[in-house]
Amino acid sequence: MSIFIDASTRVLVQGITGNEGSFWTSHMIEMGTEVVAGVTPGKEGQRVHGVPVFHTVRRALEHHGADAAMLFVPPRFTKDAVFEALDSGIRKIVTVADGIPLHEALEIRSAAKACNALVIGGNTSGVISPGKAMMGMFPYWIKRVYAPGRIGVMTRSGSLTNEIASMVVAAGFGISTLVGVGGDSVPGTRFAEVMKLFESDPETDALVIIGELGGTMEEEAAELIASGGCTKPAAAFLGGRTAPEGKRMGHAGAITSGGKGSVREKVAALRDAGVLVAERPSQVGECLKAIMRKGAAGYAEN
């Protein structure tokens, strides 16, 4: 069982009839995801790639039980869509919307924590367990890049993810689950929370953290490792090393201010916690080899 999604997870797609929803639903199905229903108000009775569409999440669940919700809705509608899924009892949600209003992102995270749910995103490519299923926007050709295995990957970056994942595979490893927490200032789920899931996953032997400047997620990850809350060996790469202070780089979460959130501080915290931090993306695979040589219980190269 993967930490978030596997071949048995029944997925409902909110916004399935839109261009993005329809396009990526077809890719999700091709990747093995069991998409059981879609939701678009006013479009009940339609079918998208053979998937039945309903007016509401509750009506979809009355006909087709679902374990997770994939949201392809604009940022201004994301909060309502997340709340509808939560109110209907769904506890695993992925939203790819970029630019969710900050106060609404805070409300989403608060609501999810209150009902013990996981909301991944916004501003993310999603979640993938290679060879099993995916929720998000990973193109079909990604099957040639990602291979199933026993390395858990967490990432804030969209642009670096595929490159580093390919380096992991080229080094002879595979990926158990990759979670894109998203690049916004307030993600629904943070690195340290994902790490706790990987810690209890028997199918994950080691971790790769793909971070960047801004925020405190990497420092929180370092604190968790240092405290013994995550015992699995980890390698990392952080982007944005040359970014000037106070200038946003790429997206809302990638900004340093007041001396906080710099890559230098994050690298120091991770190294102090025992994480092997690569200087370049191409070194991540070698870093993994080094930490695995030190010993990870149950590890076996692919």
Distances (CA, A) of 57 to 54, 120, 282: 7, 18, 43
What is the chain's alpha carbon radius of gyration, rounded to the nearest angstrom? 19
- Say whether 49 is catalytic: no
Work out the angle at residue 189's Cα, subtended by the Cα atoms of residues 98 and 207, and round it to the nearest 5 degrees. 110
CB contact at 8 A, 277 and 236: yes
**Distance of alpha carbon 218 from alpha carbon 89, whole angstroms:** 31
Closest CA to 92 of 68, 57, 60: 68
Residue for token digits 């501080």? Answer: 265
Q: Which of 49, 63, 103, 251 is catalytic?
A: 251
Residue for token digits 């679902």? Answer: 66
**Distance of alpha carbon 299 from alpha carbon 296, whole angstroms:** 6
Distances (CA, A) of 165 to 7, 44, 122, 236, 288: 21, 39, 21, 12, 12
**Distance of alpha carbon 199 from alpha carbon 154, whole angstroms:** 13
Which are the contacts of 90, defined by CB distance < 8 A and separation ≥ 6? 12, 57, 61, 66, 67, 68, 69, 117
Residue 126: CA atoms inside 13 Å, Cβ hemisphere, count? 26
CB contact at 8 A, 247 and 262: no
**Distance of alpha carbon 74 from alpha carbon 199, whole angstroms:** 33
Catalytic residues: 251
